A = this chain, B = another copy of it.
């Protein structure tokens, strides 16, 4: 792993080069406080900016929201949530990769991949106080922010703006999930792979083919043969 010490936007970051599958490199900001700089409380407020195209939020509301966040560093393979546990947090990925998966007939079924600048939780468990029916695991080291569900619900009550942000975020989530469902129903395995190739080529660099295959609803071997047919 090549390490560059470039300072970026904030003085509180290293700029790392993370090696990905296929000899590709990706810039990932790893949050580290540097000892010889003045102490300032880090905050996810800058990262939330990347979400403003989905839902708007004023500076004041962003500060209020960010104030309830706590930082969490993760290494590769950490579990944020395991099946059967009660999900207590909503996470925001500053850097790092995550996946959601569950077991079916002793096989892992990957249902989602999540990268920088996205929120992530098990909403059913968080909201309905039921045991989670899938795991959330990191697949690359990184830095997250998290909010406890009690804080989240309080923020919703305190700030109509944050409540509206939450609703708009959910609208976005639902629309994406609905599109994903339609996509699964109408496309055959080859069409599904081709559309990933054209619309999310980065996904192929960040998840293994084995993981991708269950996401596409096909076996590892079939995905391998589709790739051969297309090359």
Contact = CB atoms under 8 A, between A and B. Distances in A.
Interface of A: 102, 104, 109, 111, 123-124, 127-128, 133-134, 156, 160, 163-164, 166-167, 170-171, 173-175, 177-182, 184-187, 214-215, 217
Nearest 6 CB-CB pairings of A with B: A170-B170, A104-B186, A167-B167, A177-B177, A174-B174, A124-B175
9 contacts: A102-B182, A102-B186, A104-B186, A109-B182, A124-B175, A127-B175, A167-B167, A167-B170, A185-B214
Contact of A167 (B124, B163, B180, B184): B163
This chain: how many copies in the complex?
2
Contacts of A133: 182
Contacts of A187: 104
Contacts of A175: 123-124, 127-128
A52 B216 CA distance: 36
A230 B52 CA distance: 51
Nearest to A104: B186
Residue among A163, A174, A180, A215 facing the most chain B CB atoms (10 A cut-off): A174
Contacts of A104: 186-187
Nearest to A179: B124
Given A102-B186, A185-B217, A174 B163 contact: no
Contacts of A170: 167, 170-171, 174
Contacts of A167: 156, 163, 166-167, 170
Contacts of A127: 171, 175
Contacts of A180: 181
Nearest to A124: B175
Contacts of A111: 178, 181-182, 185
